[in-house]
Amino acid sequence: MAMQKQYARELMRFIDKSPSVYHVIKNAGTKLEEAGFTHLNLSDAFNLKPAGKYFVTANGSALIAWQMSRGKKARGFKLVGSHSDSPCLRIKPHPEVTVQDHYLKLNTEVYGGAILSTWFDRPLSAAGRVVVRTDDPLAPKDMLVSFKGAPLIIPNLAIHMNREVNDGYKIERQKDLLPLLGIINKKFEKDGYLVKLLAKQLGVSADTILDFDLYLHDTQPGCFCGYSDEFFSTGKIDNLGMAYASLDGLIAQDTPLDYVKAACVFDNEEVGSETMQGAGSPFFADTLKRITIAQCDAGEQWFELFQQQLSRSFLISADQAHAYHPNYPEKNDITNFPLVNGGPVIKLAASMSYASDGVSAGIFRDLCKRAGVPCQNFVNRSDIKGGTTIGPITTTNLMIKTVDVGNPILSMHSIRELGGVADQEYITQVFNQYYKE
Ligand code: ZN
């Protein structure tokens, strides 16, 4: 167990220091650079060398990292796809709301399919990026920001004033989810209060701040749970659990193969992926095309080579999966129900809300076997619709054989999710195996 705990511990550390998607990508980039990967800008020419290690980012919230094949021309791509974003609350523009000239609250909206009740009575903070004016109007500067301590909290209403709170109370997003920022003092000026706080935090003048993307997050660090520390409890396991493990595997296995091997972390999966930095964007396909073009000789038809490479490629779309919940056995399929710490899960759906089929599932099952890791199945109960992920979105843009997999977790989309310590080690081993041979 001691060995196993290291993977979940490292993941929790990464999550604790990555309070927004922008911090996730910045910290992932730092980890890659320390491992010898070169950060290319999308505006740079791609001069790629055999066995070279590179990464690009989109919008500061998505990333593709890869290692070139050992020879000049690759057979294809070995890909893992995951996502950087998690459900949360976003701070709206002009967010200050005062009540009785005494309380100061912030206006928010919900990002993704969050379990809203989990956001109450928790010390919260805000993090994200601030956009600051420069001399070039089309190139403002992004500055990451993260407030220390717990400046925000959403207090519950006392049960004496809300007798139905335990009987299916409907949370009103525009009323119930406005976090308290503090008590107003005499010198308080409501207009631009948050922008002034941001300016102070960043050491810039408030009138240079053009805008911001700020999200709320839990301030309590991740921790082990369970009698033998077999679980870990933290926010954003969906999907930093997979993003982190895939980058870890890519970094650890740096012997070049006949394939280009890549870990791709997209943003905005929780709101449908249809953004510039999401899995539905040309970012993915265009980056693969540029990698192929860099392998071509002068005058060679890159598109022909690209199609040949795609036909020999594989994508593991790695997200989280629904573990069997001991309090709700009736929510599961009757013969396929993944258990926490039972190993990674292959997700299948007749509706093709998951991209897996017999062939891609078989390839992944074999990979687990080679890694010495157990493997489980998930299908929805036939009368429950279930979720989806990036697998089907990427396969509608690119003809790549794809399997949807994930680790079995509980409390998916809660502010704190519950993962299995052994599972985090298992999936890291599977990615290591994938990138190794
Ligand atoms: Zn997810």
Q: Delineate the domains of the chain, giving CATH numbers in brackets.
A: 2-86+235-436 (3.40.630.10), 88-218 (2.30.250.10)
Say how many Å lie between the CA of residue 269 and the centre of ligand 1. 7
**How many Å lie between the centroid of ligand 1 and the Cα of residue 294?**
32
Predicted pLDDT at 4: 87
pLDDT at 3: 64
pLDDT at 2: 56
Cα 118 to Cα 407: distance, rounded to the nearest angstrom: 22
pLDDT digits (tens, 9 = 90+) for 283-333: 999 999 999 999 999 999 999 999 999 999 999 999 999 999 999 999 999
Q: Do 391 and 402 meet the contact criterion of CB atoms below 8 Å apart?
A: yes
pLDDT mean over 391-405: 91
Q: How far is the CA of 255 from the centre of ligand 1 (A)?
A: 30
* pLDDT mean over 397-423: 97
**C-alpha 311 – ligand 1 centre gap (Å):** 27
The string of pLDDT tens digits covering residues 157-185 is 999 999 999 999 999 999 999 999 999 98
Q: Which residues pair with 110 in a beta bridge?
A: 89
Ligand 1 mean position, distance from CA 390 (Å): 9
How far does the centroid of ligand 1 lie from the alpha carbon of residue 82, in Å? 8
- In the structure, what pLDDT confidence band is assigned to residue 250 with cuts at 50, 70 and 90? very high
- What does the pLDDT read at residue 386? 83
Residue 389: pLDDT band by 50, 70, 90 thresholds? confident
What is the CA(242)–ligand 1 centre distance, in A?
9
CA–centroid distance, residue 337 to ligand 1 (Å): 18
Report percent pLDDT > 90 for the chain.
92
pLDDT (tens digit, 9 = 90+) per residue, 130-163? 999 999 999 999 999 999 999 999 999 999 999 9
* Residue 186 pLDDT grade (very low, low, confident, very high; cuts 50, 70, 90): confident
User: What pLDDT digit, counting tens, does each position of 344-358 carry?
Assistant: 999 999 999 999 999
Task: Calculate how far, in angstroms, residue 83's C-alpha sits from the geometric centre of ligand 1.
Answer: 7
Distance 437 CA to ligand 1 centre (A): 27
Please give the distance, rounded to the nearest whole angstrom, from the Cα atom of residue 406 to the centre of ligand 1: 9
Answer yes or no: is pLDDT of 1 > 80.
no
Q: What is the pLDDT of residues 192-224, one digit of tens each?
A: 999 999 999 999 999 999 999 999 999 999 999
Q: Model confidence over 289-300: pLDDT tens digits?
A: 999 999 999 999
Q: pTM here?
A: 0.96
**In sequence order, which ranges of 294-325 are alpha helices (DSSP H)?**
302-311
- Cβ-based neighbour number of residue 143 at 10 Å: 18
Distance 1 CA to ligand 1 centre (A): 26
pLDDT at residue 21 greater than cutoff 90? yes
Percent pLDDT > 70 in the chain is 99
Q: What is the residue type of 79?
A: L
Contacts of 405 (CB under 8 A, 6+ apart): 316, 317, 318, 319, 321, 344, 345, 346, 347, 356, 364
**CA-based radius of gyration for the chain:** 23
CA of 346 to the centre of ligand 1 (A): 14
Pick left, alpha or beta for residue 386 (phi over 0 → left; psi -120 to 50 → alpha; otherwise beta): left
Q: How far is the CA of 178 from the centre of ligand 1 (A)?
A: 25
Residue 413 C-alpha to ligand 1 middle, in angstroms? 8
CA of 138 to the centre of ligand 1 (A): 33
Q: What is the pLDDT of residue 189?
A: 82
Q: What angle do CA 437, 309, 397 make, to 5 degrees?
A: 110
> What is d(CA 301, CA 298) in angstroms, rounded to the nearest whole number?
9
